[in-house]
Amino acid sequence: MATPDRFPLPQVTETTRKPEWLKVRLPHGDGYERVKAIVKRTKLATVCEEARCPNIAECWGGGTATVMLMGEVCTRACRFCHVKVGAPPPLDPMEPIHLAQAVKEMNLEYIVVTSVNRDDRPDGGASHFASAIRELRRESPRTIVEVLIPDFKGVEKDLTTVAEAKPHVVAHNVETVERLTPTVRDRRAHYRQSLRVLEYLKRRPEGLYTKTSVMVGLGETDAELEQTFKDLRDVGVDVLTLGQYLQPSQYHLRVERFVTPAQFEAYKALAESYGFLYVASGPLVRSSYRAAEFFMKGLMERERLERLG
């Protein structure tokens, strides 16, 4: 554990009123409007809109977007998430092709593909993910493809299906510290299982970059956060994003505290001391965050140039 004098963390103050630093401007700009028009015309389901992401204008205007596969109904009921829960519809076998065509038209530099949990499917939807990855890489070979996947119940065969399709980055979110996992996530989601998923993907021969995200403001302690950073690095996670949890409705978990920008900076320094390739930490940081994606794009470009000699 890091010593307090090495990384002093500002004192936490609790409030239920949304602070000034969480207010954002309405999205606008030519790049944003162009992507918005294509998304609307192609009926693409984007997390950017569904989750009302505060960074939508920055991402869409800068050539990044996050899309959701396999419908908008989830088989799990995590207590922080606003996605509908129930019996999902059948998968659309043409979805991977339509997704790739839309992304090609948007001319995106970076695409994040995520999904609801589909525990109703024999493979959790892993083969559908793999089809989408292959179509995206065929139609847009210059676009970096990141997938933010469910845990697939920890089944290695299904994780292999996704890995062998060769996304550039594979992400799976632990969401919170170990103690709070049973309260925050669905009962089928386990902290240690998520760590095993990330470790398995990192150790595979494809050489994938791995990424995860943690929300703060749910009642975690600084010591628990630090232990989480350590656990994640122990399984080889490359990129970490830290952001503020915001209660999506009165029926979801309440915010226990609003973490200040100064505290996020302290968490960033602490996490970086464990050796992550990149840490994005701030009140408005989300799983898919353009600064982290910009870093990955630069890293991969440097690797490409090194291979060329």
**Which residues does 189 contact at the CB level (< 8 Å), separation at least 6?**
76, 78, 151, 175, 181
Residues 261, 145 contacting (CB under 8 angstroms): no
Q: 74 a known binding residue?
A: yes
**Which residues does 303 contact at the CB level (< 8 Å), separation at least 6?**
none
Q: 288 a known binding residue?
A: yes
> Whole-angstrom Cα distance, residue 33 to residue 36?
5
Pairing of strands 84-85, 73-74: parallel
E strands within the chain? 64-69, 73-74, 84-85, 110-115, 144-148, 169-171, 209-216, 239-244, 278-281
Q: 213 a known binding residue?
A: no
Q: 140 a known binding residue?
A: no
The CA angle 261-264-268, to the nearest 5 degrees, is: 140
Q: 127 a known binding residue?
A: no
CA dihedral in degrees (218, 219, 220, 222; nearest 10)? 120
Annotated binding residues for [4Fe-4S] cluster: 48, 53, 59, 74, 78, 81, 288
Annotated binding-site members: 48, 53, 59, 74, 78, 81, 288
